[in-house]
Structure 1
Amino acid sequence: MVQFTYNSNAIEGNTLTLGETAMVLEGLTIDQKPLKDHLEAIGHRDAFEYIKDLVSEKAILSEAVIKNIHSLVLINRPKDKGIYRRIPVSIAGAFIEPVQPVQIQPSMEELILKNEQWKSTLHPIERVARFHLEFEGIHPFIDGNGRTGRLILNLDLMQNNYLPVNVKFSDRKKYYEAFDTYFKNDDVSAMAELIGINLLERINEYINILSDSQTLENNEEWEPEQ
């Protein structure tokens, strides 16, 4: 939780360190750090707990679910949370122009429909990668699109019995380049590879935890001969 919250928020400019994020999630206040950064950490934590509940409930991804996730993420902007943006925006350096406000609703409906269709033709990792790329291209909200998109990505992965991935702040250059590759060449492979690599890292982390736990258990069971 701490790592996911720190990395996802840091990608978007949050100034809390990993240690400070942990302290905020424990209810502490960091001196000389903006209230916004504190609220972003709390909001991301609550949103991640929400998607874990959605996995348990076997909920279907919908516009309502996406808006609920965004409402938790954008806790610091009550007038904008869970509401599609009302003004045009541009993404600096991107190869795509986000859709106009009037096009957001039909574009989101179409994306959710296509996502269901992709389930019969695409590998789950390729599908979640493509959905993430398309969602960020639509850029449906005035703020919080990146954090919301990565939470949706993990919701979909967990619903398909994968571990959630932690897109790290240190990998942000590769992450942004994956968007450029997709919107310039219609090539999803860079994002799918980034997700796949992160999945392997998570699996290895769990294997190491289980291995260490088994070693500890064996050591506790062993008693020297008298």
Structure 2
Amino acid sequence: MYITVKQAAEKWGISDRRVRILCSEDKINGAFREGRNWKIPYDAVKPTDSRVKSTSNLLTIIDEKKKELDSRRPLTEGELERLTEEFIVEYTYNSNAIEGNTLTLRETDMVLRGLTIDKKPLKDHLEAVGQKDAFDFVSELVKDNVPISEGIIKQIHFLVLADKRQDRGVYRKVPVRIMGAKHEPVQPYLILPQMEELLQSYHESTEHIIPKLARFHIEFEGIHPFIDGNGRTGRLLVNLELMKAGYPPIDIKFTDRMSYYNAFDEYHEKHNLFSMEKLFANYVNERLDTYLKMLF
């Protein structure tokens, strides 16, 4: 007797997409492909996930800290402003610097205050302002608990890509390569169906929010739906979902960019989510410590 991918996903509490990946990697004993569908033995055991073993203690600690933070909600406007003012400047600097922006942290702060930096490209100024506008937009989406969708993703990208007006909020129409990456983004005709599948898998997943977002982020960047601005958009999506779930936003540092890049390669080469999950978890844990230190 066999069950479908959807039935296995419901039984094991994971997404359909994850079950298909496990089948293709021969990690489900007795599973085989019949046409376009997978047949899975009804008594098949969910494959052991070493990732969960490696991060479960940290995730438990994070959730305990979140409960402590929740006990102080709702925060006052003054408290929220204090928590986010410095973060937005540092986040804008780091997220843009990862993508090659040459503004320093201090220059980023000055640009966000309306100043122009001599001898710095207009593109760098526009990227800083666009990133800040996009973060403000994300913060409004959090207040209304807006579900993530293709439309929302395109709106965020529209704000991010302030320096390339014709490419804002539209999927790319040409093939691209990511220099130095071990994964090649999908062809343009596959972007729409793969984005739809990714969003469906994300909404169906019952994983903890941190591994769930680590997987979503890697797969979003792997699709690479836009001609430019994918990294900045992807990191904003992570923060949108973290904040909606009650966690603080994270700021992946420019100094950690090699660990960040390597986490993508680990997933695409070895199907290992641990590196990105650990990176996200450590950042969330540190941010919770910062919040709790300031509020208590």
Query: What is the TM-score normalised by the length of structure 2?
Result: 0.70
1:126 equivalenced with 2:211 (yes/no): yes
CA distance in 1, matches of 2:204, 2:267: 20
Aligned-partner SS, 1:79: helix
Larger Rg: 2
Match of 2:82 in 1: none
Aligned-partner SS, 2:184: coil
Aligned-partner SS, 2:261: helix
1:104 equivalenced with 2:191 (yes/no): yes
The Cα offsets for residues 60-99 of structure 1, whole Å up to 9 and x where unpaired, read as 1000000000000001100000010010011122222100
Give the alignment of 1:31-180 within 5 angstroms. 31-118=118-205, 120=206, 122-180=207-265
Letter aligned with residue 163 of structure 1 = P
Letter aligned with residue 194 of structure 2 = S
Letter aligned with residue 93 of structure 2 = Y
Letter aligned with residue 166 of structure 1 = D
CA distance in 1, matches of 2:182, 2:164: 28
The Cα offsets for residues 174-226 of structure 1, whole Å up to 9 and x where unpaired, read as 00000000001111111010011111111122223235xxxxxxxxxxxxxxx
Query: What is the TM-score normalised by the length of structure 1?
Result: 0.91
Question: How many residues of Structure 1 are paired with residues of Structure 2 in the alignment?
Answer: 209
Unpaired runs of 5+ residues, structure 1, are: 212-226
CA distance in 2, matches of 1:190, 1:21: 29
CA distance in 2, matches of 1:55, 1:164: 11
Aligned-partner SS, 1:143: coil
Which stretch has the larger CA shift, 178-187 or 86-95?
Answer: 86-95
Unpaired runs of 5+ residues, structure 2, are: 1-87
CA distance in 1, matches of 2:197, 2:181: 22
CA distance in 1, matches of 2:215, 2:192: 19
Aligned-partner SS, 1:68: helix
The Cα offsets for residues 16-49 of structure 1, whole Å up to 9 and x where unpaired, read as 0000000000000000000000000000000000
Match of 1:223 in 2: none
CA RMSD of aligned residues (A): 0.8
Which residue of the other structure, out of 97, 122, 136, is the alignment partner of 1:10?
97
Task: Measure how far apart 1:136 and its partner are.
Answer: 0.2
Match of 2:291 in 1: 206
Letter aligned with residue 101 of structure 1 = P
Match of 1:214 in 2: none
